[in-house]
């Protein structure tokens, strides 16, 4: 199996995990998992394009590297910030479990879905 295929498969699995957490009402975890789903999809595309893996977690950087349309950049920033806030309670201003709502979780999952869809069309 090719490297980019492995990254894309894992991206989809992370998305499923995000969706399952959302269904269970664990919204901060759903938001957390949406970010690596998008990240892995972008990395799959970059592997195809540049023939190497880039070990960076910033979705805006990865989106630019992958030539994701500019219309995605604000969403990438939002998902990157959600990822940081779920990892570091002191940066969130409150416990991540209290900060992330059903609506926010769904929005973050939707961003990841759109990035994965875009990537699948490009690979």
The domains of the chain are located at 3-122
**Rounded to an integer, what is the distance from CA 10 to the centroid of its chain?**
12
Distance from C-alpha of 78 to C-alpha of 34, rounded to nearest angstrom: 11
**Rounded to an integer, what is the distance from CA 42 to the centroid of its chain?**
9
The answer to whether 34 and 20 are in contact (CB under 8 A) is no
The pLDDT value recorded for residue 92 is 59
Long-range contacts of 61-68 (CB under 8 A, 24+ apart): 63/115, 66/42, 66/119, 66/122, 68/42, 68/115, 68/118
CATH 1.10.10.10 for the 3-122 domain, yes or no: no
Both structure tokens of 98: 């209290």
Q: What is the pLDDT of residues 10-56, one digit of tens each?
A: 999 999 999 999 999 999 999 999 999 999 999 999 999 999 999 99
Mean pLDDT on 53-68: 94
Q: What is the pLDDT of residues 69-94, one digit of tens each?
A: 999 999 999 999 999 999 887 765 78
């Amino acid at each position: 199996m090719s490297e980019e295929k492995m990254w894309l498969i894992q991206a989809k699995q992370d998305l499923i995990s995000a969706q399952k957490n959302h269904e269970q009402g664990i919204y901060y975890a759903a938001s957390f998992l949406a970010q690596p789903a998008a990240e892995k999809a972008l990395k799959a595309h970059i592997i195809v394009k540049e023939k190497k893996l880039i070990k960076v977690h910033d979705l805006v950087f990865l989106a630019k590297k992958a030539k994701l349309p500019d219309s995605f950049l604000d969403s990438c920033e939002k998902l990157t910030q959600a990822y940081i806030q779920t990892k570091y309670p002191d940066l969130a201003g409150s416990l991540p479990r209290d900060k992330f709502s059903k609506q926010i979780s769904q929005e973050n999952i939707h961003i990841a879905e759109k990035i994965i869809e875009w990537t699948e069309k490009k690979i």
